[in-house]
Amino acid sequence: MKYLKLFEDYRFNNILYHGTDNKHRFNDRGYITDGTFFAEDINVAKGYGRYVYRVEIKNIPIFDSLNLKDVTELFNEFGELYDSYYGDGDGEYYIRTPEQLMNHSDNWGIIENTDRVLDWMRGEYRGVRIIEGGSESNILLFYPKEDIISYNLI
């Protein structure tokens, strides 16, 4: 439970980073599409390409996959989620509690692959904070062109 407590009061910073191999103009259609990932850590962003942008976003509602309140709301809506990495006969296929999702080393795969979850999130939030690869925290913004205040190439 100490792990959960650590993130209960988490509030993301409005400064994010985006790494890419191609330069972007974030306000032009076609250069960056709705549904774009951003890193909270500049070092994570650097792993995605040689061009790294510092991006300031509006104070918007973000679903936090490590926040018990947000995840409980998700489970109230869907009951259970599934991890498509496993077959439906495996015991680890079904994710039935908020704690299972919050403690999972890659909760993005679960959120992404459970039917209708991302559609529901788009209706309730402007983005989602997820964990990939055990420790990499990323934020998927559903509407980056609307929610970015400013950006600059670092």
CB 58 within 8 A of CB 14: yes
Q: What angle do CA 102, 91, 115 make, to 5 degrees?
A: 60
pTM (2 d.p.) = 0.84
Q: What is the pLDDT of residues 47-56, one digit of tens each?
A: 999 999 999 9
CB 19 within 8 A of CB 45: yes
Residues 6+ apart with CB under 8 A from 33: none
Q: What is the pLDDT of residues 18-46, one digit of tens each?
A: 998 888 776 554 344 556 889 999 999 99
Q: What is the pLDDT of residues 76-122, one digit of tens each?
A: 999 999 998 887 777 778 999 999 999 988 899 999 999 999 999 99
Helix (H) or strand (E) segment spanning residue 154: none
Domain ranges of the chain: 2-60+143-153, 62-132
pLDDT given at position 145? 83
Burial status of residue 51 (CB atoms within 10 A of its CB: 0-12, 13-18, 19 or more): middle
Structure tokens at 110: 């679960």
